[in-house]
């Protein structure tokens, strides 16, 4: 069955740019699930999200919601998709309640339905106590919660959250993560971008890693973890790095990183035998790690640790 959101071979080049910001991105997001979107600075996340929010026209490729082209969906029922942007998207001079009422109007909600949605979103984001406070006076965490509450007013089916926990304290962060999970459990399709890998590990069902406008990986979180877990990292004395790498080469794909040699073991390769091969080559293993790999390590390996602007 096709997913709720299908992005197919999307490419985009900003006017005058030398390289495309998106170069053939295909992705899917399903109801009841969180898709974690990871990528270094400049990877193309915001460009992708700007397509979903209708801010950028499609130059190449296609985006569909339940099989219907996004442009059509945006024309007929724009509130099916909500984007909670990185920046604060509310009026600082208005109170929390005024902001919600104002955005309820913008979402074409009125009367009892508007009142009901404002109350529900205030409650969901636990903002009732702050209903009378001006936006400008809220703490970072409360501002994020207001951003989320506004996005949820029209009960969107697809919710895109662009780094929703930047600048919030640990309590608000935990609350926001929990809220996102509840939204997915309630049947929404969620796309969640963050630079915090632990957040993605905590809430994503599926993870897409984007770099240079391309999808490097798109897989269930558990599969990505398992992929990383086949890495063996070895530091050994008595051998030059090339010799150490040569000793480990029969066991998988080898590369060097910060004085260590990392082997992506081929299926069935025994890490014990790989370490024995190091000893047989005259090396003394000083440090070895196997069977555990955080999403962060895998991410850095895939995106090759190059510093971005």
Residues that bind ligand ATP (CB under 6 A): 14, 17, 21, 39, 41-47
Q: Three-state SS for 225?
A: helix
Cβ of residue 300: shortest distance to ligand ATP, in angstroms? Answer: 15
Nearest to 289 by CA among 281, 280, 297: 297
Here the tokens at position 127 are 């903002």
Cβ of residue 17: shortest distance to ligand ATP, in angstroms? Answer: 5
Cα 83 from Cα 80, distance rounded (Å): 10
Q: Rank residues 21 and 127 by Cβ distance to ligand ATP and give the closer one.
A: 21
Q: Rank residues 48 and 114 by Cβ distance to ligand ATP and give the closer one.
A: 48
CB distance 244 to 281 below 8 Å: yes
CB distance 172 to 97 below 8 Å: no
Cβ of residue 194: shortest distance to ligand ATP, in angstroms? Answer: 10
Cβ of residue 42: shortest distance to ligand ATP, in angstroms? Answer: 4
Cβ of residue 127: shortest distance to ligand ATP, in angstroms? Answer: 27
Q: Three-state SS for 307?
A: coil
Q: Rank residues 13 and 181 by Cβ distance to ligand ATP and give the closer one.
A: 13
The DSSP result for 262-292, as a single string, is EEEEPTT--HHHHHHHHHHTT-EEEEEEES-
Cβ of residue 207: shortest distance to ligand ATP, in angstroms? Answer: 15
Nearest to 220 by CA among 26, 1, 30: 30
The DSSP result for 133-183, as a single string, is SBGGGS-HHHHHHHHHHHHHTT--SEEEEESTTTT--HHHHHHHHHHHHHH
Q: Rank residues 43 and 63 by Cβ distance to ligand ATP and give the closer one.
A: 43
Q: Rank residues 16 and 268 by Cβ distance to ligand ATP and give the closer one.
A: 16
Q: Rank residues 10 and 109 by Cβ distance to ligand ATP and give the closer one.
A: 10
């Amino acid at each position: 069955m096709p997913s709720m959101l299908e992005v197919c071979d999307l490419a985009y080049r900003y006017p005058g740019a030398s390289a495309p910001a998106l170069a053939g991105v295909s992705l899917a997001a399903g109801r009841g699930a969180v898709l974690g979107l990871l990528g270094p600075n400049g990877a193309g996340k915001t460009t992708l999200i700007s397509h979903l929010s209708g801010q950028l026209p499609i130059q190449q490729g296609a985006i569909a919601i339940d099989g219907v082209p996004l442009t059509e969906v945006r024309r007929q029922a724009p509130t099916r998709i909500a984007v909670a942007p990185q920046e604060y998207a509310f009026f600082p001079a208005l109170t929390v309640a005024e902001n919600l009422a104002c955005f309820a109007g913008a979402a074409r909600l009125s009367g009892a339905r508007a009142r009901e949605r404002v109350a529900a979103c205030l409650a969901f984001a636990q903002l009732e106590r702050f209903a009378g406070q001006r936006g400008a006076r809220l703490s970072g965490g409360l501002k994020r919660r207001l951003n989320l509450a506004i996005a949820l007013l029209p009960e969107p089916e697809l919710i895109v959250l662009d780094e929703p926990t930047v600048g919030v304290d640990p309590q608000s962060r935990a609350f926001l993560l929990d809220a996102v999970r509840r939204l997915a459990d309630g049947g929404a399709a969620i796309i969640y971008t963050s630079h915090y890998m632990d957040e993605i590990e905590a809430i994503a069902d599926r993870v897409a890693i984007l770099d240079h406008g391309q999808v490097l990986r798109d897989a269930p979180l558990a599969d990505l973890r398992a992929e990383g877990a086949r890495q063996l990292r070895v530091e050994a004395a008595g051998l030059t790095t090339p010799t150490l790498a040569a000793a480990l080469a029969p066991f998988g794909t080898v590369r060097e990183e910060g004085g260590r040699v990392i082997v992506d073991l081929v299926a069935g390769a025994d890490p014990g035998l790989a370490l024995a091969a190091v000893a047989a080559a005259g090396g003394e293993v000083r440090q070895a790690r196997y069977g555990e790999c955080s999403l962060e390590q895998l991410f850095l390996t895939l995106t090759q640790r190059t510093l971005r602007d």
